[in-house]
């Protein structure tokens, strides 16, 4: 039962059910598929004053222009690389995201992926389940996390949380950013190739978007070297995926733990046969606790907007 007195909003793409439930208590919610024909939106949708989206869908200039009454975009994600932020700013459309509430879980998964990759946990699990260990096959010896040089690419909130988790075991923690960060005990390396050369592990924790596209390129991958491991919990597009796959195939790097991919949910099948690669379906923030907290934060931002108040977590 929709209540026409409730502000009309668009749910852009399939939203987390609890979020939909909370939105429907407050708003008249119009689901719009992420690939909808924007020239054929029903009149009721054109009245939408808010749009709720998430990391992989975002909000293009086209969807903003298709909704003449749009006032705010609420993101169920910390990443807003798929939102045309400058277009929103130019049109006076507010944008909110969900930082901080997901930091710990994304950092936890990064550390879990690091251990799983370096210690061959997934491949050894398959060896036990397949019976080959019982038939006498011996697991290969592996690298170690303790004492290794951990390179954090992108020392933001999530990068710092990862570094703090690994401080007790790392041989050293170094990082590469566009500029040196203040108030951090970790060693800054300005040159990306020097950063890779001096790392045993590169954990990609930078924001996505065009400015970070293929930041981890063939040169950085080769500078990391044959004993090196890459972990990515950021965005798939931050790595030159073809170059990484080629390096993994040639054993020019030792392994990769990947939670994100260039064209999700499609993952290059070449990775499926690689025992030195651990794959996750973009699960960084996907805990019951955190997805609820993210949904509550999306709603809090919309509630604040419609109450004429400051947004709790504004992007624009």
Asked if 78 touches ligand 8YV (CB under 6 A), the answer is yes
Residues 176-211, buried b or exposed e (16+ Cβ, 10 A)?
bbeeeeeebebeebeebeebbbbbbbbbbbbbbbee
Q: Least distance (Å) from ligand 8YV to the CB of residue 101?
A: 10
Which one of 28, 177, 280, 285 is in contact with ligand 8YV (CB under 6 A)? Answer: 285
Site for ligand 8YV in 3-32 (CB under 6 A): none
* Contact pattern from residue 240 through residue 269 relative to ligand 8YV, giving x for each residue in contact according to CB under 6 A and a dash for the rest: ------------------------------
Which one of 77, 120, 232, 301 is in contact with ligand 8YV (CB under 6 A)? Answer: 77
Catalytic residue among 94, 176, 235, 291: 235
Asked if 76 touches ligand 8YV (CB under 6 A), the answer is yes
Q: Least distance (Å) from ligand 8YV to the CB of residue 17?
A: 12
Which one of 112, 236, 255, 284 is in contact with ligand 8YV (CB under 6 A)? Answer: 284
Give yes or no: 235 in active site: yes
* Contact pattern from residue 131 through residue 170 relative to ligand 8YV, giving x for each residue in contact according to CB under 6 A and a dash for the rest: ----------------------------------------
Which one of 55, 151, 228, 237 is in contact with ligand 8YV (CB under 6 A)? Answer: 55
Backbone angles phi, psi at 112, to 5 degrees: -65, -40
Q: Least distance (Å) from ligand 8YV to the CB of residue 78?
A: 4
Give yes or no: 282 in active site: yes
Give yes or no: 71 in active site: no
Piece in contact with ligand 8YV (CB under 6 A), picked from 53-61, 120-128, 224-232, 248-256: 53-61
- Residues with catalytic function: 235, 264, 282
Interface with ligand 8YV (CB under 6 A): 54-56, 76-79, 102, 284-285
């Amino acid at each position: 039962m929709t209540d026409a007195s409730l502000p009309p909003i668009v749910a852009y793409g399939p939203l987390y059910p609890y979020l939909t439930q909370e939105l429907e208590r407050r708003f008249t919610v119009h689901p719009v598929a992420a690939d909808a024909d924007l020239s054929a939106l029903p009149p009721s949708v054109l009245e939408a004053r808010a749009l709720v989206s998430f990391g992989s869908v975002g909000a293009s200039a086209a969807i903003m222009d298709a909704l003449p009454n749009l006032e705010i975009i609420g993101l169920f994600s910390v990443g807003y690389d798929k939102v045309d932020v400058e277009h929103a700013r130019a049109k006076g459309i507010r944008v909110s995201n969900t930082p901080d509430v997901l930091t710990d879980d994304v950092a936890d998964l990064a550390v879990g992926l690091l251990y799983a990759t370096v210690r061959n946990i997934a491949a050894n699990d398959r060896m036990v389940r397949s019976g080959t260990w019982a038939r006498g096959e011996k697991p290969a010896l592996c690298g170690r996390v303790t004492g290794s040089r951990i390179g954090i690419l992108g020392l933001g909130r999530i990068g710092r949380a990862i570094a703090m988790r690994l401080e007790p075991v790392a041989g050293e923690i170094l990082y590469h950013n566009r500029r040196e960060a203040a108030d951090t005990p970790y060693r800054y390396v300005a040159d990306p190739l020097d950063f890779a050369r001096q790392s045993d592990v590169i954990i990609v924790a930078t924001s996505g978007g065009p400015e970070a596209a293929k930041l981890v390129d063939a040169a950085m991958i080769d500078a990391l070297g044959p004993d090196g491991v890459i972990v990515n919990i950021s965005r798939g597009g931050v790595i030159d995926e073809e170059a990484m796959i080629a390096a993994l195939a040639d054993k020019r790097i030792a392994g990769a733990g990947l939670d994100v991919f260039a064209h999700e949910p499609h993952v290059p099948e070449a990775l499926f046969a690689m025992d030195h690669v651990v794959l996750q379906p973009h699960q960084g923030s996907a805990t019951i606790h955190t997805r609820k907290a993210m949904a509550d934060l999306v709603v809090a931002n919309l509630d604040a907007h419609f109450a004429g108040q400051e947004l709790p977590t504004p992007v624009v």
